[in-house]
Amino acid sequence: MKDFSKFEEGLGIYFENKGLLMQAFIHRSYLNEHSDTGLDHNERLEFLGDAVLELIVTEYLYNKYDNPEGDLTSWRAALVNSKMLSKIASDLNFNEYILLSKGEAKDTGRARQYILANAVESIIGAIYLDKGFETAKEFITKNIIKELPAVLKNKLYRDPKSTFQEQAQDRVGITPTYGVIEESGPDHDRHFVVGVYLEEELVAEGGGSSKQEAQEGAAQKALEVKGW
């Protein structure tokens, strides 16, 4: 099994229950090949951690900003979505500790992003159970809420597809369309390149492990190209 002492040192959080820490990193697939661990997978911890994360982020936004509910909801979503949480997981080197089946370990695409994001929620749940609410709050503030200035500065809370459509309709009277330009990679790790068009004009391209992700990337680039 893995040695989590360096992970604890990096967090500055030392678990009383080491099994709880390990469980936070056990993906369901791992138990198919290692049924003798004596521990469950991390999905219950993920369920708990998701609620703790949402409460702490909501409390922070409520206390710090007087903005309408809609703004706060969008900002919270940008902080706790899978893309952001997988980034946090990478920053904290979760890839070195996550326990997966051999098959899952080979997948480095969209599925891994969700696994890492879920592991962040699981570790929050584990911290909450082992060290209490305040320690969980410190972890979330230090590692997740710290991303809020970048979210606000770069308007990451905005859905780029909706924004580009609104701007295109208002400014030039055209509804954008999207088309796949390139599709590559094995079935478990596909990569798409999608173009966004205003009638015949190819405005920008975006890439991603799903068509939706590629469309969002293309829309974001199109907003930058047009200066909208």
Which pLDDT does position 81 carry in this prediction? Answer: 87
90 and 166 both lie in a single domain: no
List the binding residues for Mg(2+): 46, 118, 121
101 and 199 both lie in a single domain: no
Final residue belonging to a domain, choices 153, 179, 199: 153
CA 158 → CA 44, 64, 152, 162, 174, distances in Å?
A: 31, 20, 9, 8, 20
Which pLDDT does position 114 carry in this prediction? Answer: 86
Final residue belonging to a domain, choices 153, 181, 199: 153
Which pLDDT does position 158 carry in this prediction? Answer: 76
Residuewise pLDDT in 10s, the chain (228 residues): 688 999 999 999 999 999 999 999 999 999 988 888 889 999 999 999 999 999 999 999 999 999 988 789 889 988 998 889 999 999 999 999 999 988 887 776 667 888 999 999 999 999 999 999 999 999 999 999 999 999 999 888 877 887 888 889 889 999 999 999 999 987 767 889 999 999 999 999 999 888 888 998 999 999 999 998
List the binding residues: 46, 118, 121
What is the rounded CA–CA span in Å between residue 40 and residue 56? 26
At 173, the amino acid letter reads G
Which domain range does residue 122 map to? Answer: 5-153
Final residue belonging to a domain, choices 133, 153, 173: 153
126 and 168 both lie in a single domain: no
63 and 23 both lie in a single domain: yes
Domain containing 131 — which CATH number?
1.10.1520.10
137 and 185 both lie in a single domain: no
Which pLDDT does position 1 carry in this prediction? Answer: 64
- Bridge partners of 201, per DSSP, are 198
Domain count, the chain: 2
169 and 148 both lie in a single domain: no
132 and 177 both lie in a single domain: no
Q: Which amino acids are annotated catalytic?
A: 50, 121
27 and 113 both lie in a single domain: yes
143 and 176 both lie in a single domain: no
Which pLDDT does position 83 carry in this prediction? Answer: 86
Torsion-angle region of 132 (φ positive above 0: left; ψ -120 to 50: alpha; else: beta):
left
At 75, the amino acid letter reads W
146 and 216 both lie in a single domain: no
Given a contact cutoff of 8 angstroms between Cβ atoms, the answer to whether 200 and 177 are in contact is no
185 and 100 both lie in a single domain: no
58 and 23 both lie in a single domain: yes
Which pLDDT does position 32 carry in this prediction? Answer: 86
What is the rounded CA–CA span in Å between residue 206 and residue 194? 5
Q: From the CB of residue 41, how many other CB atoms can be counted at a distance below 10 Å? A: 20
Which pLDDT does position 181 carry in this prediction? Answer: 96
Domain containing 197 — which CATH number?
3.30.160.20
